[in-house]
Amino acid sequence: MQTHFFLLADTHLTTDPANQAALRRGLETISKQADRPLVVINGDLTNTGDPAEYQAFAEVLGDFSDRLDFALTLGNHDVRGPRNFEWTNMQEEDPQHFHQVAAPFFLRFLANAPIRERQGLSYTLRAGSARLIFLNTEKGLKDAVYLPATTLNWLDRQLTEDAGPHLVFLHEPLNDTHRLSDLYGGTGQQDALLKDVLRRHPDTFFLSGHIHNAFGVAEAIPRAYATCIDTPAYGRAKAGLHSAGCGYEVTLDDAHLTLAAWDLANDQRLPEFDVALPARTLGSVWADALSQKMPDTAWLDRALPLLTATYSQSAQDVDADEEALEAPLFGAAAQTTMRELIETAPGGKRETPAPWSAAHDGVVFATRDLYLDQLIEAGKKVTALTPHTPAAKTARFEALDRLARMRGQLARYSDAALQEALDALAWVLSTSYPIDQRPQLQQTVSQAQTLTQTPQLTRALMPARLALADATTTPGQLATVLKDLLAAMGH
């Protein structure tokens, strides 16, 4: 059974009737393409998150409720609110606009949506044969995302229950992927943890918006943890085809994921910007190839550059002329190479991942009987780290001060209080103070390449090379591949 829906992002609706008219024209176009199609709007539904804008957005969607179904995510413009003096990306903060305006609006939407399962404001629904997973921040941060440990654990369970491919939606893109994906901090401090979950399920398509690329600049990017898809901005674009009202018509079947490009506001197909991807992701094929008894090093060497190519993420590119933009890294030639790699994959079948709990550098979000030891161990690690910026010093001090006040009477604190303290320590460890093991890993890789290449050594060496080439590799992942490589070398 096919999965079919329309995908928009960054509608930035206001109370201006002219602004609303573009969205109405697009929804009218969609309503004529199928019998009650699903429309996914992937964040920044409104321009400022003002209650009047939410009301206008609800009214526009309500006018099409007899012809269209909707699935939504919240974007940073929706949750941070119109008062910029309240904006923050610090995850220990909890701005109230989110709780007073954004969350109540979204809960009303969820009450009438055909969802299957829900965790906080994140949820799933069924479209054709696929389960669609929609992630939402649980705090109103300026640009970043906050996903509690319960949401990350829930995401892993959702990805484990169904065979891939998986479709995961979040407004913000993952860091070090698309052009300008790291703008204003990108996903934020939990980027590493989210990738740790996805890395266990690489047969995932991760669909995002936020960075306002348009057709000609928006791309599909293969990574070892997912294939990342940048949705063109509906409301306004920074680079690419400057036409308000653009989006994709998405079709997923057993063989392909097809993104058909539309100028929806003007009822016009744009086939020159279509994207056709294999239903199998390169990341999943890579993981399977590594599971072989004798890995095909020639194939792995061809796949590695495509999985690690990345843009400079220079902040000066924000308002650059299109002529000054970096050349596309994942255009037609790269897509052809990706298809060839998937078609010629050497086979193999990776093992089903073991049960998981959100963890990073030994910090575990788990049951209450693990809190005490984990808090103490995390505190030791944070104490041993040296901050390099004033913000880092502040975050470290606050996390350790909280632990000092709780130490000696931890058993008296509620689960929620212990979890909050552990969250703070995990945030410091996983993002603010990465322990750079790249030099040691590079040296170990160089040594391993001089040895006789046994299957066990090859299976450990290729992930190590990938980790070194990928700028997004987390400290925890570096430590894991280093440990595996040393074991394969007999150390």
The pLDDT score that the predictor gives to residue 121 is 96
Confidence of residue 416 (pLDDT cuts 50, 70, 90): confident
Could you give the angle at the alpha carbon of 144 between the alpha carbons of 177 and 245, nearest 5°?
Answer: 70
Among 401, 398, 299, 289, CA closest to 340: 299
The CATH architecture of the domain made up of 3-288 is 4-Layer Sandwich (3.60)
- Region 245-253: mean pLDDT is 96
Confidence of residue 453 (pLDDT cuts 50, 70, 90): confident
The pLDDT score that the predictor gives to residue 47 is 95
Q: What is the mean pLDDT of the chain?
A: 85
Who wins on pLDDT, 348 or 76? 76
**Which amino acid, residue 361?**
D
The DSSP 8-state label assigned to residue 99 in this structure reads I
Asked if 54 contacts 20 with a C-beta cutoff of 8 angstroms, the reply is no
The pLDDT score that the predictor gives to residue 368 is 43
Confidence of residue 192 (pLDDT cuts 50, 70, 90): confident
- Region 342-346: mean pLDDT is 91
For the chain, the distance separating the N- and C-terminal CA atoms, rounded to the nearest angstrom, is 50
The pLDDT score that the predictor gives to residue 408 is 60
- Region 74-80: mean pLDDT is 95
φ/ψ of residue 472, rounded to 5: -90, 0
Q: Give rounded-to-5 percent helix, strand, coil for the chain.
A: 45, 15, 40
The DSSP 8-state label assigned to residue 232 in this structure reads P
Q: Give the span between the Cα atoms of 345 and 51, in whole angstroms.
A: 51
- Where do runs of H (alpha helix) occur along 224-348? 282-290, 297-308, 332-343
Verify cis geometry, omega within 30 degrees of 0, for the bond prior to 390: no
Among 117, 230, 103, 245, CA closest to 177: 230
23-27, 235-239, 277-281, 319-323: the lowest-pLDDT one: 319-323
Q: What pTM did the predictor assign?
A: 0.82
Q: Give the span between the Cα atoms of 479 and 482, in whole angstroms.
A: 5
Among 103, 169, 172, 173, CA closest to 138: 103
Domain borders along the chain are: 3-288, 362-432, 438-488
Confidence of residue 166 (pLDDT cuts 50, 70, 90): very high
Q: Give the span between the Cα atoms of 166 and 102, in whole angstroms.
A: 27
- Region 28-40: mean pLDDT is 96
Asked if 257 contacts 369 with a C-beta cutoff of 8 angstroms, the reply is no
Whether 361 has a pLDDT exceeding 70, the answer reads no
Whether 133 has a pLDDT exceeding 90, the answer reads yes
Asked if 7 contacts 40 with a C-beta cutoff of 8 angstroms, the reply is yes
Please identify which residue in the block is written with the tokens 């993952």: 174
Q: Using CA atoms of 423, 425, 427, 428 in order, give the dihedral in degrees to the nearest 10.
A: 170
The pLDDT score that the predictor gives to residue 367 is 41
Whether 164 has a pLDDT exceeding 50, the answer reads yes
